[in-house]
C-alpha cells in the first residue's frame, strides 16, 4: 500500500513512514525487519511498509541524527543492525504525532460534514 | 543542526566506503533471510520461497544503490570523478600534457623566481620588530634627488635630537683587517653608532650589544668593544663558549668581544652580511690618517636611519626635519662660506620610509629587475594563451563527445566543471613544479646579478616567504582561469544538433567560430615578436658595450690588490717594498710587464680633484696615482712627452701626466707638455710631462673623463697608500695568484693575502646587470618563439585532423597535393602575418621603455626589427609545414570514410 514509487504524493507519504518508524522504535531498539513486522502487526495487517521505503527511511533518519545505529545479535543470533531513538528522535516523534493527530482530526471533520 | 550532522556523517562515510557497502548488504541480507524464514513458517513450499522473497522484497541491488546514494557526498564525489577522469585524459595524450606542463612550469617558475628576487631586493622588510617605524634620512641640496651619505658631524648633531626620532643611528660598511694566525685577513663588517642596536631592537645571542657608552668620542675609556656575528663566532672562534672577553686585533687596534649577534640579525642593509660591528667612534683610531670622521663635513660616507617616536609618521618626521636643518648645519659645520652656499641651495634633511633598510644596490637594480619581470609576465601570458588555444583546438575535436553528454542530460555547468578541472590540474601541477624549481633559479640569478660587487660580499635573501607563495598562487589561478574558462565556455556553447550532425565535416559555422582561437594565436605571435625585439635590442646593446673602445687592452691584464695601509712601513720604505714586489713579480713565468695604480678603472673606485691653469677657470678631473710603466702595461698609448720613472721624486718637482681630454680641456689648442697646472684650492703646481690616450674610468657607458695621473713616487695623500698591481700576462693567469700570495707573504707577512682579479672579470662585473638582462631576454625570447611554434603547430594539427574528410573530398574532386598544402599553410600564415604586424607596432611603442638600458642602440633599430620578424616567420613556417605536409599525404578514400 505504501509504495516508494508513489513518491509524487511527496513529503506526506515519506513523512508518514518515518513517523511510523519513529513510533516503532519508541518501544526500544529494533532492527529493520522487526520494525516492518511491528508496524504490519500493530496496524492489523493494513499497513505494510515496503522494504524499498523502509530502509531509505531508516538511513535518512540516521543521517539526520534522529536515530542511532549499532550492530548486534538478533533473537536467533544473526548479526543485524539495530536502530534506536535518540533524544532528538523522541522530540521529533512527539511533534510528528501531535501534527498527525491534528491532521487526521481535521480530515475527519471535513469528511463528516454533509 | 540536522544538516550539520548529515554533513559530518556523509564526510565520515567517504572514508569508510567499503565498510558501509558491506554493512548495507548485510542489513538487506538479514532482512531477506528473516523474510525467507517467515515464508517457510507460513508454509510456502521451499521451491518457491526464493521467488516469493524476491517478489516481496524486490531487487536488492536497486535498494542497495538507493541507500548508497543517500550516503553520497555529492560534490566531493563529483570532484573526485572529475580529477580521476582528467588525469586519465591527460595521460592518454602525453605529448600535449608534456608541452602544457612545460610551458606552465616555465611561465610560473620564471615569474616566481624573478619575483622572489624582487621580493628580496625591493619588498622584504628588515627582520626586526616594528620595521615600519624605521625611516631613512637623506639630504637635499640643489637637485631634487636626495643624497644618502652623511658626514659624521651632521649625524652627531642629528643623533642628539629626540623630538622626531626616539633613536637615530648611522652605519657604514667597511672591510676590516683582522689579525689572524700569521697575517691580517680581510673581514667584512660595519661601523655602527651607539643607538644602532637599540633602534633595531634585536637582543644579542651572547653577551651584550653596543650601546651609546661604547660610542663616545675617543672611544670608551674602559676599552673598545666589538660585537661579532654568529657566523664569525663559529668560523673564527670555533663556537667557543668563552668568546666574551676575547680580544681581536682589528686594524692594528685591540678590541674586546662584548657580544654575539644571532644569525637572523642582518643589520639595516639587507644586502650585506657583516661579521663584526665596530663602534663608530673607533673609526678615527682604526683608520688613522684615512679617517672619514676626521674629514669632518668634507667626508660624506655614513648611512643614517632613525626609529620614529611612537605616534609620529614618516611624513610628519619629514616635515619636522625642515626647520631643524639649518640649526644642525650651524652646529656641525665650522665654515661659514660653506653654510651660506648650502643655504642658498635650500639645503634640508629628509626622511623616507625605511622599513626595508637601505642599500644603494636598489637604485642600480630596480629598473633592470622590473624590466625582466615585465618580460617574464609576457612569457607567462604567452604560455597561457598558447595553452588556451591548444585546449580550444582540442575541445573542438571533442565536441561530438561533449554534445552527446549534453544530450544525455549533463548540465552545461557540469561539463564546464569537468573541462575546468583539466586545466586546473595542469595549472596546479605546473605551478608546483615551477615553485619547486624557482628557488634554485632565483639563487642562480642573484649570484649572476650581484657578482658586480667585487670584494664586497653581497647577500640577497631570496628565500620563499608568504609573499612569494601568494604571488605564485595568484599566477597559477590566473593561468588556470585564462587557460580553462575560455575553452570550456566555448566548447559547450554550440547548438546540440550542429555538434552531433557535423562530425568531421567543416561548415560555415566552424569557420566563424574559429576566430577567437585565431585571434589568440595572433596575439601570441605578437607577444613573441615583442620579446624577440626586446632580446635583440638588449643583446645588440651588450655587444656594442663590449666592443666600445675602453682605451686600454683588458685581455691578459690582471689586477692584484694589496692592502698596505695598516702595516709598519711608510714613505720611502713602503715605496721600496712595492718596487721590489713589482720586480719579483715581473720575473714570474708569463709576466710581460708590471706596474701599480691606486684606482682600478670600472671598479667603483673614484678619485677626483679640482685643477686649474693659472688665470683660467677650475675644472674637475678624475685622478689616479700610477707607477712607472703603467701605460705600457695597460697598453694606453703615450701620445706626447714621456712616462714616469722611479727617479721622479718630489725633490725633482711635482709632475703630472694628463689624458687627451684633460689636455684639451686645460690647454685647448696648444701643446700641454711643459705647461703647469695648479690644484685647487691649495695651488700646488704640477708640470705636465706627458699626454696619454683616453681610457674609461667610471663605467663603460660614460665617455672617458679628463684624467690626471700622478706618480706614486710623489704621493702626497695622507696615510699609508695601498696600490693594486697591474700585470700583463701571456697565457693563463691562474698560477700567478699563488705566486703573488707567496711573494707577499715573504716580503710583507703582515698584510692580508692579495686578491687577484682579471681585468676582464672586472669589466664583466661592471656591466653585470646589462649582461644578465641580455641573457635573460634572449632566453625568454627563445622560449617564447619555441612555445609559439609549438602552439601554431598544435592548433594547425588539430584543425587539419578535423578537416580530414573535407581534404579527402577535395582531393578526390581533383585538387592537387600542392594546392592542399597551400590551403593548410594559408591558415597559419594569416595568423602569423596579423600577429607580426600587431607585434611590430606594439614593439615599436614598448621599446621606448628599454631606451634607458640601451647603449648606442636606438630603440627602433631597423636591423633588430627585421631579424625578429624573420625569426617569427621562420618559426611560423616551420610549425605550419609539418601539418601541411601531413595533409598532403592524406589518401582521399580513407579520408572520406574516416569519420
Q: Which residues of A touch B36 (CB under 8 A)?
A: none
* Cα–Cα distances in angstroms (integers) from residue B424 to residues B90, B292, B345, B399, in the given order: 12, 60, 60, 20
Q: How far apart are CA B361 and CA B353, in angstroms?
A: 17
Q: How far apart are CA A54 and CA A65, in angstroms?
A: 17
- Nearest one of B474, B476, B500, B487 to B396, comparing CA atoms: B487
Mutate to test the interface with A, among B4, B9, B31 (most CBs of A within 10 A): B31
Residue count of chain B, please give it. 899
Q: How far apart are CA B775 and CA B639, in angstroms?
A: 39
CB atoms within 10 A of CB B762: 20
- A63 and B10 within 8 Å at the Cβ level: the answer is yes
Q: What DSSP character marks residue B710?
A: E
The percentage of residues in chain B with a pLDDT greater than 90, rounded to a whole number, is 26
Q: How far apart are CA A81 and CA A72, in angstroms?
A: 6
Beta strands B253-261 and B225-229: pairing type? parallel
ipTM for this model: 0.82
Provide CB contacts within 8 A for A77, sequence distance 6+. none
The model's confidence at residue B511, banded by pLDDT at 50, 70 and 90, is low
Average pLDDT over residues A11-18: 68
pLDDT of residue B56: 66
CB atoms within 10 A of CB A10: 9
Residue for grid cell 620595521:
B131
Average pLDDT over residues B778-784: 85
- A78 and B27 within 8 Å at the Cβ level: the answer is no
- The residue of chain A nearest to residue B38, with distances taken between CA atoms, is A37
Q: How far apart are CA B165 and CA B321, in angstroms?
A: 10
Q: For residue B349, is pLDDT > 80?
A: yes
Q: Which residues of A touch B56 (CB under 8 A)?
A: 51
CB atoms within 10 A of CB B45: 9
Q: How far apart are CA B848 and CA B837, in angstroms?
A: 18
> What are A73's strand-pairing partners?
A79
Q: For residue B173, is pLDDT > 80?
A: yes
pLDDT of residue B765: 82
Q: Ranked by mean pLDDT, which of B32-46, B238-252, B630-644 comes out on top?
A: B630-644
pLDDT of residue B735: 87
Considering only residues B37 and B191, tell me which one the structure prediction assigns the higher pLDDT.
B191
- Nearest one of B258, B300, B263 to B279, comparing CA atoms: B258
The model's confidence at residue B42, banded by pLDDT at 50, 70 and 90, is confident
Q: For residue A45, is pLDDT > 80?
A: yes
User: Does residue A27 sit within a domain?
Assistant: yes
pLDDT of residue A11: 43
B551: helix, coil or strand?
coil
Kindly write down the DSSP assignment for every residue of B219-243, as one continuous string.
--TT--EEEEEHHHHHHHSTT-TT-
Q: How far apart are CA B321 and CA B328, in angstroms?
A: 10
User: Does residue A113 sit within a domain?
Assistant: no
Q: Give the burial string for B768-783 (b: 16+ CB within 10 Å, else e).
A: bbbbbbbbbbbebbeb
Question: B331-343, pLDDT tens digit by residue?
Answer: 888 888 888 888 8
Whether the CA torsion A15, A21, A24, A29 is positive or negative: it is negative
User: Does residue A95 sit within a domain?
Assistant: yes
- B58 and A51 within 8 Å at the Cβ level: the answer is yes
- B6 and A81 within 8 Å at the Cβ level: the answer is no
Considering only residues B471 and B595, tell me which one the structure prediction assigns the higher pLDDT.
B595
Task: State chain B's mean pLDDT as an integer.
Answer: 84
- Cell numbers linked to B186: 680581510
Q: For the domain that residue A29 is a member of, what is the CATH number?
A: 1.10.10.10
Mutate to test the interface with A, among B40, B60, B62, B63 (most CBs of A within 10 A): B63
Interface contact A96, partner B, CB < 8 A? no
The three state secondary structure string of chain A is: CECHHHHHHCHHHHHHHHHHHHHHHCCCCEEHHHHHHHHHHHCCCCCCECHHHHHHHHHHHHHCCCEEEEEEECCCCCEEEEEEECHHHHHHHHHHHHHHHHHHHHHHHHHHCC
The model's confidence at residue A86, banded by pLDDT at 50, 70 and 90, is very high
- The residue of chain B nearest to residue A79, with distances taken between CA atoms, is B30
Alpha helices (H) in B706-860, listed in sequence order:
734-747, 759-766, 768-802, 804-812, 817-846
- A50 and B31 within 8 Å at the Cβ level: the answer is no
* Cα–Cα distances in angstroms (integers) from residue B345 to residues B18, B327, B351, in the given order: 85, 15, 18
Question: B385-440, pLDDT tens digit by residue?
Answer: 888 887 777 776 677 777 777 777 777 777 777 777 777 787 788 878 888 888 88
Q: For residue B585, is pLDDT > 70?
A: yes
Q: Domain limits of chain B?
A: 2-72, 131-355, 366-546+768-897, 563-753
Average pLDDT over residues B173-178: 90
Q: How far apart are CA B866 and CA B393, in angstroms?
A: 31
Alpha helices (H) in B691-767, listed in sequence order:
734-747, 759-766
Determine the distance in angstroms separating the CA of B81 from the nearest CA of chain A, rounded to an integer. 24
Q: For residue B695, is pLDDT > 90?
A: yes
The model's confidence at residue A65, banded by pLDDT at 50, 70 and 90, is confident
pLDDT of residue B514: 65
Average pLDDT over residues B550-575: 89
Interface contact A81, partner B, CB < 8 A? yes
Average pLDDT over residues A83-90: 91
Residue B361 · residue B121 · CB < 8 Å: yes
> What are B134's strand-pairing partners?
B307
pLDDT of residue A22: 92
The model's confidence at residue B114, banded by pLDDT at 50, 70 and 90, is confident
Beta strands B755-758 and B724-729: pairing type? unpaired
Work out the burial of residue B127: count CB atoms within 10 Å of its CB; fewer than 13 is exposed, 13-18 middle, 19 or more buried: middle
Q: Which residues of A touch B35 (CB under 8 A)?
A: 33
The model's confidence at residue B600, banded by pLDDT at 50, 70 and 90, is very high
- Domain count within chain A: 1
Residue B442 · residue B511 · CB < 8 Å: no
Q: How far apart are CA A98 and CA A77, in angstroms?
A: 37
The percentage of residues in chain A with a pLDDT greater than 90, rounded to a whole number, is 30
Q: What DSSP character marks residue B216?
A: S
Determine the distance in angstroms separating the CA of B43 from the nearest CA of chain A, rounded to an integer. 18
Provide CB contacts within 8 A for B241, sequence distance 6+. none
Residue for grid cell 660595519:
B190
Q: For residue B66, is pLDDT > 60?
A: yes
Residue count of chain A, please give it. 114
pLDDT of residue A24: 92
- Cell numbers linked to B774: 641580455
Mutate to test the interface with A, among B7, B21, B27, B29 (most CBs of A within 10 A): B27
- Nearest one of B102, B780, B770, B850 to B376, comparing CA atoms: B780
CB pairs below 8 Å between A and B: how many? 64
Q: Where are the beta strands (DSSP E) in chain A?
A: 30-31, 67-73, 79-85
- HSE-up of B43 (CA within 13 Å, CB side)? 0
The model's confidence at residue B450, banded by pLDDT at 50, 70 and 90, is low
Residue A56 · residue A4 · CB < 8 Å: yes
pLDDT of residue A2: 40
Average pLDDT over residues B378-382: 85
Q: Which of B34-38, B73-77, B157-161, B600-604 has the lowest mean pLDDT?
A: B73-77
pLDDT of residue A60: 87
Q: What DSSP character marks residue B250?
A: E
B638: helix, coil or strand?
strand
- A71 and B6 within 8 Å at the Cβ level: the answer is no
- A65 and B1 within 8 Å at the Cβ level: the answer is yes
State the residue range of the domain holding A59: 4-108
Phi-psi region of A29 (alpha: psi -120 to 50; beta: other; left: phi over 0): beta
Provide CB contacts within 8 A for B228, sequence distance 6+. B236, B237, B243, B248, B257, B259, B260, B261, B275, B276, B277
Interface contact A56, partner B, CB < 8 A? yes
Q: How far apart are CA B416 and CA B487, in angstroms?
A: 9
Q: Which residues of A touch B58 (CB under 8 A)?
A: 50-52
User: Does residue A114 sit within a domain?
Assistant: no
pLDDT of residue B628: 94
- B71 and A59 within 8 Å at the Cβ level: the answer is yes
Amino acid at each position: 500500500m505504501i509504495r516508494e514509487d508513489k513518491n509524487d504524493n511527496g513529503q506526506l507519504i515519506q513523512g508518514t513512514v518515518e513517523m511510523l518508524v519513529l513510533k516503532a522504535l519508541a518501544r526500544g531498539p529494533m532492527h529493520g525487519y522487526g520494525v516492518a513486522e511491528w508496524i504490519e502487526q500493530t496496524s492489523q495487517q493494513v499497513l505494510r511498509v515496503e522494504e524499498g521505503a523502509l530502509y531509505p527511511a531508516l538511513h535518512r533518519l540516521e543521517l539526520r541524527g534522529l536515530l542511532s545505529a549499532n550492530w548486534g545479535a538478533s533473537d536467533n543470533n544473526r548479526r543485524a543492525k539495530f536502530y534506536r531513538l535518540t533524544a532528538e528522535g523522541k522530540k521529533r516523534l512527539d511533534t510528528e504525532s501531535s501534527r498527525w493527530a491534528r491532521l487526521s482530526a481535521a480530515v475527519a471533520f471535513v469528511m463528516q460534514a454533509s | 543542526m540536522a544538516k550539520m550532522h548529515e554533513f559530518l556523517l556523509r564526510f565520515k562515510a567517504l572514508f569508510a566506503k567499503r565498510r558501509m557497502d558491506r554493512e548495507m548488504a548485510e542489513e538487506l541480507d538479514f532482512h531477506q533471510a528473516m523474510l525467507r524464514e517467515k515464508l517457510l513458517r507460513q508454509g510456502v513450499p521451499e521451491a518457491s520461497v526464493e521467488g516469493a522473497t524476491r517478489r516481496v522484497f524486490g531487487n536488492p541491488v536497486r535498494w542497495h544503490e538507493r541507500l548508497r546514494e543517500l550516503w553520497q557526498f555529492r560534490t566531493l564525489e563529483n570532484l573526485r570523478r572529475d580529477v580521476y577522469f582528467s588525469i586519465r585524459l591527460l595521460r592518454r595524450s602525453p605529448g600535449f600534457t608534456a608541452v602544457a606542463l612545460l610551458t606552465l612550469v616555465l611561465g610560473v617558475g620564471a615569474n616566481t623566481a624573478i619575483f622572489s628576487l624582487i621580493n628580496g631586493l625591493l619588498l622584504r622588510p628588515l627582520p626586526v620588530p616594528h620595521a615600519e617605524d624605521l625611516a631613512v634620512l637623506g639630504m637635499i641640496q640643489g637637485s631634487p634627488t636626495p643624497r644618502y651619505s652623511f658626514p659624521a658631524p651632521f649625524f652627531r648633531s642629528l643623533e642628539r635630537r629626540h623630538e622626531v626620532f626616539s633613536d637615530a643611528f648611522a652605519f657604514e660598511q667597511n672591510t676590516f683587517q683582522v689579525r689572524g694566525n700569521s697575517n691580517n685577513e680581510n673581514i667584512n663588517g660595519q661601523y655602527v653608532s651607539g643607538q644602532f642596536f637599540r633602534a633595531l631592537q634585536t637582543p644579542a645571542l651572547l653577551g651584550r650589544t653596543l650601546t651609546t657608552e661604547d660610542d663616545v668620542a675617543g672611544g670608551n675609556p674602559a676599552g673598545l668593544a666589538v660585537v661579532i656575528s654568529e657566523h664569525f663566532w663559529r668560523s673564527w672562534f670555533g663556537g667557543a663558549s668563552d668568546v666574551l672577553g676575547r680580544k681581536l686585533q682589528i686594524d692594528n687596534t685591540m678590541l674586546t668581544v662584548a657580544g654575539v649577534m644571532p644569525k637572523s640579525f642582518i643589520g639595516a642593509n639587507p644586502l650585506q652580511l657583516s661579521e663584526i660591528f665596530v663602534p663608530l667612534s673607533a673609526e678615527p683610531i682604526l683608520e688613522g690618517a684615512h679617517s672619514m670622521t676626521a674629514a669632518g663635513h668634507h667626508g660624506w660616507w655614513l648611512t643614517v636611519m632613525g626609529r620614529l617616536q611612537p605616534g609620529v609618521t614618516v611624513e610628519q618626521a619629514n616635515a619636522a626635519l625642515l626647520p631643524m636643518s639649518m640649526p644642525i648645519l650651524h652646529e656641525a659645520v665650522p665654515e661659514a662660506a660653506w653654510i651660506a652656499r648650502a643655504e642658498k641651495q635650500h639645503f634640508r634633511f629628509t626622511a623616507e620610509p625605511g622599513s626595508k633598510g637601505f642599500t644603494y644596490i636598489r637604485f642600480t637594480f630596480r629598473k633592470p629587475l622590473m624590466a625582466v619581470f615585465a618580460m617574464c609576465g609576457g612569457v607567462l601570458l604567452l604560455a597561457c594563451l598558447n595553452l588556451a588555444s591548444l585546449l580550444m583546438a582540442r575541445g573542438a575535436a571533442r565536441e561530438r563527445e561533449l554534445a552527446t553528454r549534453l544530450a544525455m542530460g549533463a548540465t552545461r555547468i557540469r561539463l564546464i566543471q569537468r573541462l575546468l578541472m583539466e586545466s586546473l590540474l595542469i595549472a596546479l601541477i605546473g605551478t608546483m613544479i615551477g615553485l619547486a624549481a624557482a628557488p634554485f633559479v632565483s639563487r642562480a640569478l642573484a649570484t649572476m646579478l650581484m657578482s658586480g660587487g667585487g670584494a664586497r660580499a653581497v647577500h640577497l635573501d631570496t628565500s620563499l616567504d608568504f609573499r612569494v607563495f601568494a604571488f605564485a598562487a595568484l599566477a597559477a589561478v590566473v593561468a588556470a582561469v585564462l587557460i580553462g574558462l575560455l575553452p570550456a565556455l566555448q566548447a559547450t556553447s554550440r547548438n546540440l544538433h550542429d555538434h552531433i550532425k557535423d562530425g568531421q565535416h567543416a561548415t560555415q559555422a566552424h569557420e566563424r567560430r574559429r576566430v577567437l582561437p585565431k585571434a589568440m594565436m595572433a596575439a601570441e605571435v605578437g607577444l613573441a615578436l615583442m620579446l624577440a625585439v626586446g632580446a635583440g635590442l638588449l643583446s645588440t646593446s651588450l655587444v656594442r658595450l663590449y666592443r666600445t673602445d675602453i682605451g686600454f687592452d683588458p685581455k691578459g691584464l690582471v689586477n692584484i690588490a694589496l692592502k698596505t695601509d695598516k702595516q709598519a712601513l711608510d714613505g720611502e720604505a713602503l715605496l721600496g717594498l712595492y718596487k721590489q714586489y713589482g720586480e719579483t713579480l715581473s720575473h714570474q713565468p708569463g709576466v710581460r710587464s708590471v706596474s701599480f695604480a691606486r684606482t682600478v678603472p670600472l671598479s667603483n673606485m673614484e678619485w677626483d680633484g679640482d685643477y686649474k691653469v693659472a688665470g683660467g677657470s677650475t675644472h674637475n678631473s678624475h685622478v689616479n696615482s700610477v707607477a712607472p710603466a703603467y701605460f705600457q702595461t695597460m697598453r694606453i698609448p703615450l701620445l706626447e712627452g714621456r712616462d714616469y720613472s722611479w727617479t721622479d721624486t718630489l725633490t725633482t718637482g711635482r709632475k703630472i701626466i694628463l689624458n687627451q681630454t684633460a689636455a684639451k680641456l686645460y690647454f685647448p689648442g696648444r701643446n700641454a707638455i711643459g705647461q703647469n697646472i695648479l690644484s685647487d684650492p691649495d695651488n700646488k703646481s704640477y708640470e705636465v710631462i706627458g699626454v696619454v690616450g683616453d681610457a674609461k674610468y667610471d663605467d663603460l657607458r660614460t665617455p672617458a673623463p679628463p684624467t690626471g695621473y700622478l706618480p706614486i713616487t710623489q704621493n702626497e695623500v695622507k696615510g699609508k697608500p695601498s696600490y693594486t698591481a697591474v700585470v700583463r700576462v701571456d697565457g693563463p693567469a691562474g698560477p700567478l695568484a699563488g705566486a703573488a700570495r707567496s711573494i707577499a707573504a715573504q716580503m710583507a707577512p703582515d698584510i692580508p693575502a692579495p686578491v687577484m682579479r682579471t681585468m676582464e672579470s672586472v669589466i664583466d662585473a661592471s656591466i653585470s646587470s646589462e649582461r644578465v638582462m641580455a641573457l635573460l631576454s634572449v632566453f625568454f625570447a627563445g622560449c617564447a618563439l619555441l612555445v609559439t611554434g609549438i602552439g601554431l603547430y598544435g592548433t594547425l594539427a588539430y584543425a587539419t585532423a578535423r578537416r580530414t574528410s573535407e581534404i579527402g573530398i577535395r582531393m578526390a574532386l581533383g585538387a592537387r597535393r600542392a594546392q592542399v598544402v597551400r590551403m593548410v599553410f594559408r591558415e597559419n600564415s594569416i595568423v602569423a602575418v596579423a600577429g607580426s604586424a600587431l607585434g611590430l607596432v606594439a614593439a615599436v611603442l614598448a621599446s621606448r621603455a628599454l631606451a634607458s638600458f640601451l647603449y648606442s642602440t636606438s630603440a627602433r633599430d631597423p636591423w633588430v626589427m627585421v631579424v625578429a620578424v624573420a625569426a617569427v616567420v621562420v618559426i611560423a613556417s616551420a610549425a605550419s609545414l609539418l601539418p601541411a605536409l601531413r595533409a598532403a599525404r592524406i589518401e582521399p578514400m580513407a579520408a572520406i570514410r574516416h569519420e
